[in-house]
Structure 1
Amino acid sequence: MDNLVALQRTLDDVTCYVLIAATLLYWVHAVFPKPAWVAEVGTAAVAIASLTSGSLLVARWIESGHPFPVSNLYESLFFLCWCLTFAQLCAEYLSRQKVMGLFTMPFATATAAFASFYLPAQLQVSAPLVPALDSNWLMLHVSVMVFSYGFLLAAGGTSMAYLWVTRKDKQVELKGNSIGSGGMRRVEKTPVRSSFTPAEEPVAVGGPSLSSAVVLSEEIAETPSLQALTLAETLDNVSYRLVGLGFPLLTVGIIAGAVWANEAWGSYWSWDPKETWALITWLVFAAYLHARLTKGWQGKRPAWLAVLGFSAVWVTYLGVNFLAQGLHSYGFFLKQ
């Protein structure tokens, strides 16, 4: 067991430092787009951090013998870190873009650093489960909730990247359905290309479909401004897909938590601060999906909703641990 503890400490440190390197590489590439391999190294660093954080959780799982390594805040933070890196890699695969890393990786780095350097030593070690957590529902509820947080936070980070890319494009509007098929783009004012230059030409997930008022010639269709628009459309689409993955998981996690609460406390819902904020988060992303699926929203309006949901996730996951106590007070570590 001593070897497993030492291995966890090493993996903890490696994860933190590799994530710091990945964050710096993404930001350096944003400022100095050439050479393109800088962003590729950043992606490799994210993959390494995903591997090391996952290995840390496996080592903790073996050492503790718990149903799943999310029994305290330290384990939960590193699980969220792993989920964020995994979601980042999925987003890059879907979009062939790196710009999301500018916004997701700083939060993944802060999560790992918070767990490693801020939490007291007694909260970082494995301990016997408290009675409320000694249940098979632990693996289903907590792991599904944290996994959903990872995808929803990545969606919020991707929406931040969309807003950053289109920060000067006051009159760019995306039109069409939410999954990108047959999407139309209207440009009333020539958009300014983002300062972030991807390593390869941006690819629109749904494929281009330009109105005759915009495409006057092949020369216009190949201008950098239209490439920037394609990048924005891709980010908008990837954010939607990440929410589409995270929202059902959040729903399943909340339902599983209600069943577990009834088993442990005799009530499905107690309006505990964490439960309340989980519901608020669910409502924000439900509004996001409703607006996209029924109202046809695309572009900046749903992006701001996703950013709001991004903030709500952090309050749900960590904020209420600082601000309130309740039935989930086992996660409240400042009371000491």
Structure 2
Amino acid sequence: MVKRFSRWAIAVLLLILSILLSLVVGRVWLEPSALLAGMLDPKPNLPWLILYELRMPRTVLALMVGATLGLSGAVLQGLLRNPLAEPGLLGVSAGAALGAVIAIYFGLSAAFALATPLLGICGALAAAALTLTFGRGGTLTMILAGAAVSGLMGAGLSLALNFAPSPYAAYELTVWLLGSLTDRSWPQVGLALPFMLAGWLCLVLTIRDIDALSLGEAQAESLGIHIARTRLLALAGTALSVGAATAVTGAIGFVGLVAPHLVRPFVGHQPSRVLLPAALFGAILLLLADVATRLIPTAQELKLGVLTSLAGTPFFFWLVLRLKRMSP
């Protein structure tokens, strides 16, 4: 019990430090004393505006998106009994990206600021519905259906880039697809939060079921688990939460894959015990990655999705080699 408490204390301390770093680190370095003075000053001032209008929405969104990716990754790995499962496996991320790209492509985002995230969420729900419709035969069928839906949505993204009306439109689409938290504001946080909360609720409702599914589908059914309902909850939760995250930030990969594996050695291999720590470490990982994008000295700020892919790919290869050694 003492060891478990100390682990949680360290995790919470890491989270607090990550939040503080995210608030003070940037192109303009803000001393903690200047931030405190700006908060106490009744008149508008530059430190307070930078903190409240730029850093705080970015930090809150990083917490929300990181927790979403970590939680959904843990649920999907338990549901599919596949250590390589992550939110993009079921086509949800690609569907959200396609919906957002459609908003940008047809100029809806210019006419209505929230068109991009709204259509992104619609795209995620449509992709999840397709995966669920064609993947009802079992775990393997769902994985194959998710791969097919991902391919279909990826083809749509390629079409949008291919027929972009101008090089500037193609550039805007490409930059958005790279994934970033830069210039995100409170309205985008407010739009994504209700969908994420609904998605988190659906994912948390699968806790008991994914524990039983670790024994196998036949054994889970014999214990009274309604597998179709569990799949629906997991897919709906992933679509709502990850779809909202992708619609607001663009594509950010590997966090949903890495976070559950980082915490599993410390909490055991029972799927339900991985969920909350995976969400916590997903938030920490994304916060630290976002801070790193600001600190790496480049002419233009490194995109968050690019950095997570660069950092996550070696971990993915290590995981594949580990699974290869463990297989008979």
Give yes or no for TM over 0.5. no
TM-score relative to the length of structure 1: 0.31
Higher RCO, 1 vs 2 (CA within 8 Å, ≥6 residues apart): 2
TM-score relative to the length of structure 2: 0.31
Higher CA-based Rg:
1
